[in-house]
Amino acid sequence: MKNIMKITTIVLLLATSYSCKNKMNNNEEVTDPETAILGKWELVLLKSSVGNEQKQTPTGYVEYLPEGRLGWYDYTTKEYTLFEHKYWVYKYLNVEAHLEDVLREYWVLEYEKILAEWEYPDGEKKSFPVGPFQFFENQYRYVANKFRLKFINQNTISLYGLDIFLAISVEHIYKRIK
């Protein structure tokens, strides 16, 4: 009887240890975003700078591939588009102009620029640089090609437009898919 209890205790300890290890790996800090971003990501949430949150039903996924390549798979058309345009992930060091002793370091996800025309309500038209896959994100068309990249965990990223041209800033939350 004692042997069965010892074996049961050992099995439970091993199972708990394995479970905790897997949870820690998911929440582990990402130290190499250039490789951690590789894979397929769905847009699941938009958070505006005024506090609104809007859950998203993904219409497809963006796939970050090695060597700066990326693609888009559309769930409706079942078409995969591999873009000629590339992306870069790099660390950025910013010194705040009004707070000269404050240094900010963060990761940036930048897409090769494509010019898109934007028409304002008054009829004025202007061209702005945009990222290549956002034309396929039917649920929200943001106008930017450079984003602050933050890994919330190994399977969740936040993209915040650094060169956005809209009055309200929006944070895009993506989840990794298999």
The CATH number of the domain holding residue 160 is: 2.40.128
How does residue 17 score in pLDDT terms, banded at 50, 70 and 90?
Answer: very low
Q: What is the mean pLDDT of residues 40-66?
A: 90
90 lies in the same domain as 143: yes
Q: Which residue has the higher pLDDT, 97 or 71?
A: 71
Mean pLDDT of 73-97: 86
55/142 same-domain check:
yes
- Cβ–Cβ contacts within 10 Å for residue 172, how many? 22
118 and 51 in a single domain? The answer is yes
Which DSSP helix (H) or strand (E) runs through 23?
Answer: helix 2-27
Query: pTM for the full model?
Result: 0.68
131 and 87 in one domain? yes
- Predicted confidence (pLDDT) at residue 177 exceeds the cutoff of 80: yes
State whether 57 and 81 are in the same domain: yes
The pLDDT value recorded for residue 63 is 95
Which is more confident, 80 or 20? 80
Report pLDDT for 7. Answer: 46
User: Helix (H, G, I), strand (E, B), or coil: what is residue 15?
Assistant: helix
Q: Name the percent of the chain lying above pLDDT 90.
A: 33
Higher pLDDT, 164 or 81: 81
**CA pair distance 42, 122, nearest whole angstrom:** 34
**Could you give the angle at the alpha carbon of 169 between the alpha carbons of 91 and 100, nearest 5°?**
50
N-term to C-term CA, the chain? 44
Residue 175 makes CB contacts below 8 A (sequence gap 6+) with 41, 42, 44, 155, 156
Enclosing domain of residue 142 = 32-177
Hey, which of 8-17, 55-64, 97-106, 168-177 has the most confident mean pLDDT? 55-64
With cut-offs at 50, 70 and 90, classify the pLDDT of residue 169: confident
Has residue 167 got a pLDDT over 60?
Answer: no
**Half-sphere exposure of 5 toward its Cβ, with a 13 Å CA cutoff?**
2
pLDDT for res 128: 67
Look at the chain and report how many structural domains it folds into: 2
Are 17 and 102 found together in one domain?
no
